[in-house]
Amino acid sequence: MKLMKEKAIVLSVLTTLVASASAGFTFQEIDFGADHRDPAEGIIVLDHSFDAHFASLGVYFSSPTDNPIYWIGTDYGFTAGAGSLNMGNPTQGGISNYPLRVDFLTPVAFASIHGVDGGGDIDTLAVRAYSYEHGLVDQNSLTSSFGGLGGTVGVEAPSIDYILIQQTGSSAGLFLDDLRYIQVPTPATLPVLGLALFARRRR
């Protein structure tokens, strides 16, 4: 059953990509691996600073609960967590199921995140998509052990300005990986939205 759900998600993504490609939409993927950083740097804390690298890809990460966001390098000892985001410090253990907010500097029509874990407990990964006016435009969730290949949760709407990624479980939480999104073709608005978000975050 889980494999069938995963195939359905992949098929949905592929269908969305084919439909959007002809309309000039742009597909992006961030795998949080060595392409985005030097893996020798270990764990990087992405707090509320405006990260120029991710801004160039059209995204901004923040924590609604004001806890640090940990970007784990590919040199991390636990294979499932290598090259991912974690909402707690994995070197200290404990709870890491805090929410994550992802703002899109250019609105998107599709967004998904992949969750993976050691499979020792059952977690629920939920994604809620919002408009610029904070209206809920789509939501989806998956309850699983997230062991092995993990699981993906995606949302779709004509214009998504940000998503909230939330996870619940009896233990530490999930490693978050492979953020995928399809940008709506409004290139003229990118500098304006980027500067507006930057100014808002610095207040």
Contacts (Cβ under 8 Å, ≥6 apart) of 159: 107, 108, 109, 131, 132, 137, 184
Model pLDDT, residue 40: 59
Burial class of 17 by CB neighbour count within 10 A (0 to 12, 13 to 18, 19+)? middle
- Residues 116-167: tens digit of each pLDDT: 988 778 899 999 999 999 999 999 999 999 988 899 999 999 999 999 999 9
At 162, which amino acid appears?
Y
Sign of torsion, CA 102 106 109 114? Answer: negative
CB atoms within 10 A of CB 158: 11
- Read off the DSSP letter of residue 77: S
* Amino acid found at 5: K
The pLDDT of residue 82 is: 86
pLDDT tens, residue order, the chain (203 aa) = 544 444 454 445 544 444 444 467 899 999 988 777 765 567 888 765 667 788 888 999 999 998 889 888 877 878 878 889 999 888 787 778 899 999 999 999 999 999 998 877 889 999 999 999 999 999 999 999 998 889 999 999 999 999 999 998 666 789 999 999 999 986 554 444 444 444 444 44
Distance of CA 2 to the CA centre of its chain: 21
Torsion of CA 150, 156, 159, 162, to 10 degrees: -30
Please list the alpha-helical segments (H only) found in 22-128. 52-56
